[in-house]
A and B are shown apart, each in its own frame.
Chain A
Amino acid sequence: DTAVSQTPKYLVTQMGNDKSIKCEQNLGHDTMYWYKQDSKKFLKIMFSYNNKELIINETVPNRFSPKSPDKAHLNLHINSLELGDSAVYFCASSQDSAVRLQYFGAGTRLSVL
Chain B
Amino acid sequence: GESVGLHLPTLSVQEGDNSIINCAYSNSASDYFIWYKQESGKGPQFIIDIRSNMDKRQGQRVTVLLNKTVKHLSLQIAATQPGDSAVYFCAEIPSVGANNLFFGTGTRLTVIP
CB distance B100 to A99 under 8 Å?
yes
B31 and chain A: residue at smallest CB distance: A100
Distance between Cα atoms of A104 and B34 in the complex (Å): 14
Q: Does B93 contact A (CB under 8 A)?
A: yes
Count of chain B residues with a beta carbon within 8 Å of a chain A beta carbon: 22
**Count of residues in A whose CB is under 8 Å from the partner chain:** 25
Most chain A CB neighbours (cut-off 10 Å) among B32, B44, B106: B44
Assess whether A104 is in contact with B99, with CB atoms less than 8 Å apart.
Answer: no
**B101-A45 in contact (CB<8A):** yes
| A105 (CB) vs chain B CBs: closest residue | B43
A43 and B99 contact, Cβ closer than 8 Å, known pairs A100-B32, A100-B49: no
A41→B105 contact, CB < 8 A: yes
Contact of B99 among A42, A99, A106 (CB under 8 A): A99
Q: Which of B32, B44, B99, B103 contacts A31 (CB 8 A)?
A: B99
Q: What would 10 more interface pairs be, CB under 8 Å, given A101-B49, A107-B43? A: A43-B89, A43-B103, A43-B106, A48-B100, A50-B99, A96-B99, A99-B98, A103-B46, A104-B44, A106-B41
